[in-house]
Amino acid sequence: MRIKNFKDLIKEVHKPGICQQCGGCVSFCNSIENDVIGMTEPNSPPKYINEEKCLECGICYLICPQTHILDDDLNKTYNFTNFSSMPLGFIDNIYSCQATDKEFLEIGTDGGVVNSLINYLLEKKLIDGAIVAKTKTAFSREAVIARNKKDLIEASGLKLDLSPQLNELQKFHTYTSSIPQLKQYKFKRLAVVGTPCQIYTIRCMQNLGIIPSQNIELCLGLFCYENFFFDQPRIEMFEKKFKLKFENIDRINIKEDLILKLKNRGATQKIIHIPFDSIKDYVRQACLACSDFTNIYADISFGGLGSMDKFTTVITRTKKGIDIIKKAINAGVIRTSKLDRANKMKMKEKISQFCQFKMKRFDNFMKNKLLTWNSQPLALEIDDD
Ligand SMILES: Cc1cc2nc3c(=O)[nH]c(=O)nc-3n(C[C@H](O)[C@H](O)[C@H](O)COP(=O)(O)OP(=O)(O)OC[C@H]3O[C@@H](n4cnc5c(N)ncnc54)[C@H](O)[C@@H]3O)c2cc1C
Ligand code: SF4
Ligand code: SF4
Ligand code: SF4
């Protein structure tokens, strides 16, 4: 029986327009053989660079979040059985937290909790490094290993040859080639930060026992409703539509909507909330084909939704995740806002609502895709060679 490989991803995932551009296939493939496939253009699926070098091993096909081959295995490993009835995934506890370190709080997208936790784990020598994303050039991020506080701050900080606004946009640019970074750190214990599509591929690799995923001690997952594609023409369209200048944006954040904090002109900072419905033109089509909002396979998930400004919503899921959050709270690395049962229920309901929105959007998108995709079935039969 022929093993499905990258050619099948092209047929079944790229051509129907459902590639999430997570880069999982590229990241894995580059870790075994360089330049077979690559993300060569922004906002497009990966392509063959040197097709003749393809080993036809089929791992890219297995770990792709759009083939769903390993969903049942992952659901068993991560404690839940039916994603559609439980889109929040397994939840041990939910918190609203903030970094106690002023610098991490200041540079944090929300409460600076992710960086604080990584720093704590590094200081306690519970990990040797963390793969985080750093802005490289306009609309590209690179995976870098952070080994100390300085590295974490540098990765989160501004890149001087880019405008601060572009740096803010980069926060919501998905693809970072995290997995090839891992092979350089064999036998190290690493944490990885990623969006749901990125963590999914890592978990598939871990379930398959594929090197170098065994280096990953901890998956720190970010919530992700959608991701944007802003090139110059789109920036201009956006400025016109929302009657603002990009250069006046100080910070960008995503919670229930897109939040733009404008540069201070007077004593108070102007904050603009733009509903997701109004920014459909800027969302990467790939994200419409994605159903996981809360990063259900992560050890710990983090987002802004459900928490007040400058606090991060934290969901603990695995034993490792639970232990680390408890230790960090006890050590005073992060502080938690006091939440009673009713508050926690409210947070869960709000997050659950966004999970449902995302699943509904996914269902509609996939239905339309199936209807319009030349009436060809998505899953092709495996050819017997
Ligand atoms: C693309 C994207 C979409 C998001 N959508 C939502 C949303 O819809 N709703 C919501 O509530 N929250 C969303 N979030 C999460 C939110 O923006 C914050 O990242 C989260 O709350 C953690 O905040 P923090 O201040 O605790 O993290 P920080 O302490 O600021 O640390 C964040 C860490 O993550 C790393 N990082 C950031 N992006 C990436 C990436 N793509 N790959 C790998 N590492 C990365 C940074 O280098 C940094 O180390 C999204 C995040 C991203 C990247
Ligand atoms: S070598 Fe393997 S992982 Fe890389 S493209 Fe070919 S089949 Fe996919
Ligand atoms: S969804 Fe991710 S793993 Fe699948 S083909 Fe696209 S980039 Fe590759
Ligand atoms: S919505 Fe987020 S997790 Fe889903 S494909 Fe887009 S970037 Fe990845």
- pLDDT tens track for 232-265: 888 889 899 999 888 888 888 889 999 988 877 6
Please answer whether residues 216 and 190 qualify as being in contact, where contact means their C-beta atoms are separated by less than 8 angstroms: yes
Q: Is residue 209's pLDDT more than 80? A: yes
- Residue-level pLDDT at 170: 61
Q: Is 302 in the pocket of ligand 1 (CB under 6 A)?
A: yes
Q: Is residue 166's pLDDT more than 90? A: no
**What's the chain's average pLDDT?**
85
Please answer whether residues 78 and 67 qualify as being in contact, where contact means their C-beta atoms are separated by less than 8 angstroms: no
By C-alpha distance, which of 306, 308, 300, 313 is closest to 350? 306
Q: Is residue 97's pLDDT more than 50? A: yes
Q: Is residue 230's pLDDT more than 90? A: no
Q: Is 133 in the pocket of ligand 1 (CB under 6 A)?
A: yes
For 84, 257, 275, 336, 348, the CA distances from 291, given in Å and listed in that order, are 9, 17, 19, 29, 17
Give the three-state DSSP class for 26: helix
- Residue-level pLDDT at 384: 37
Q: Is 109 in the pocket of ligand 4 (CB under 6 A)?
A: no
Q: Is residue 381's pLDDT more than 60? A: no
For 171, 187, 197, 260, the CA distances from 282, given in Å and listed in that order, are 15, 41, 19, 15
Identify which of 36-50, 80-94, 107-121, 210-224 has the greatest average pLDDT: 107-121
- Residue-level pLDDT at 13: 93
Percent of the chain with pLDDT over 90: 49
Q: Is 227 in the pocket of ligand 4 (CB under 6 A)?
A: yes
| 325's tokens | 């959050």
Residue 132 pLDDT level (bands cut at 50, 70, 90):
confident
Residue 17 pLDDT level (bands cut at 50, 70, 90):
confident
Q: What is the mean pLDDT of residues 143-172?
A: 72
Ligand nearest to the CA of 6: 2
> Rounded to an integer, what distance in angstroms lies between the CA atom of residue 97 and that of residue 117?
11
For 22, 43, 79, 166, the CA distances from 230, given in Å and listed in that order, are 17, 10, 37, 9
Helix, strand, coil share of the chain (percent; to 5): 40, 20, 40
- Residue-level pLDDT at 171: 63
- Residue-level pLDDT at 370: 65
Q: Give per-residue burial for 67-90: e unless 16+ CB within 10 Å, then b.
A: beebeeebbeebebeebeeebbbb
Q: Is 30 in the pocket of ligand 1 (CB under 6 A)?
A: no
Q: What is the mean pLDDT of residues 352-365?
A: 93
Q: What is the mean pLDDT of residues 156-169?
A: 58
Q: Is 55 in the pocket of ligand 2 (CB under 6 A)?
A: yes
What number does the ligand 4 atom closest to the CA of 22 have?
8
What number does the ligand 3 atom closest to the CA of 9 have?
5
Please answer whether residues 149 and 141 qualify as being in contact, where contact means their C-beta atoms are separated by less than 8 angstroms: no
- Residue-level pLDDT at 181: 67
> Rounded to an integer, what distance in angstroms lies between the CA atom of residue 205 and that of residue 63?
7
- Residue-level pLDDT at 354: 95
Residue 188 pLDDT level (bands cut at 50, 70, 90):
confident
Ligand nearest to the CA of 18: 3
- Residue-level pLDDT at 358: 94
Phi, psi of 254 (to 5 degrees): -125, 125
Residue 380 pLDDT level (bands cut at 50, 70, 90):
very low
Phi, psi of 144 (to 5 degrees): -130, 155
Residue ID of nearest Cα to ligand 3 atom 4: 64
Q: Is residue 379's pLDDT more than 50? A: no
